[in-house]
Amino acid sequence: MNILDKITADKKNEVALRKSLIPTSQLEQSVLFNRTTISLAKKLRTSNTGIIAEHKRRSPSKSVINHNLNVNDVAQGYENAGVCGMSVLTDGKYFGGSLDDLLLARASCNLPLLRKEFIIDEYQLLEAKAYGADVILLIAAILSRDEIKRFSEFAKSLNLDVLLEVHNEEELNKSIMPSLDMLGVNNRNLKTFDVSLETSKSLSQQIPDDFVKVSESGISNIDAIKALKPFGYQGFLIGENFMKTNNAGESAAQFIKELKS
């Protein structure tokens, strides 16, 4: 069983438990459920940096990244740094995140927020909306074409942007559909955890221009972004790079300043 299968199996149990505790009607009555969402895809299309900065405490590949940073400070720091959007890990068991992190980030900034999660059920989209997300992530490796279609169309009905993540050509081919806004290429091989920007470069040709292209994982310096821009990438998800410092916002600000110079 690879790590993704393990996470997905655990997620099914976790979601079943949460559904039994909090009915969908309660999520739909939350204060944030009817707020007007901010489109990350639109922001990326007009941005000259395209940085989506992440809040991530740990990961299966790196164990602890940073347990000391406060979500409020990180969200405000990222916003002041001028990032395009913020990704918030809400998985507890493997990444040390929670829906409360999303709520705190929402209270602390006006950035488009991506709920970074392993989505396997529509219920999680209602949670995303109720906790202040603007964007949801769908991972092609754990979903069938039917599920991608169902979840992405449901997300659009909630006015959420959809970022679909692929790792290879096969996943990309099964996933392309009009209900997606952004196509993210994850440069990390989920079986070996090796990272290569060649994945983004080789798949770029096959992503239609209707979608905003986002490159994820292994983007730790300005050169990586400069190398990917000619391939049509407008979004760059950066997780560990900022979080492994003592001041994520400050390091994002420094990074963006260098990128613009």
Architecture of domain 3-260: Alpha-Beta Barrel (3.20)
Q: What is the CA 74 to chain-centroid distance, rounded?
A: 16
The pLDDT of residue 239: 82
Q: pLDDT above 70 covers what percent of the chain? A: 99
What's the mean pLDDT when you consider all of the chain? 95
Q: pLDDT digits over 76-115, tens only?
A: 999 999 999 999 999 999 999 999 999 999 999 999 999 9
Give the whole-angstrom CA distance, residue 62 versus residue 194. Answer: 12
Give the whole-angstrom CA distance, residue 136 versus residue 114. Answer: 6
Q: Each residue of 165-179: b (16+ CB within 10 Å) or e?
A: bbbbeebbeebbeeb
Q: pLDDT digits over 200-219, tens only?
A: 999 999 999 999 999 999 89
Please list the ranges in the chain whose pLDDT falls under 70. Answer: 1
The pLDDT of residue 247: 95
pTM of structure: 0.96
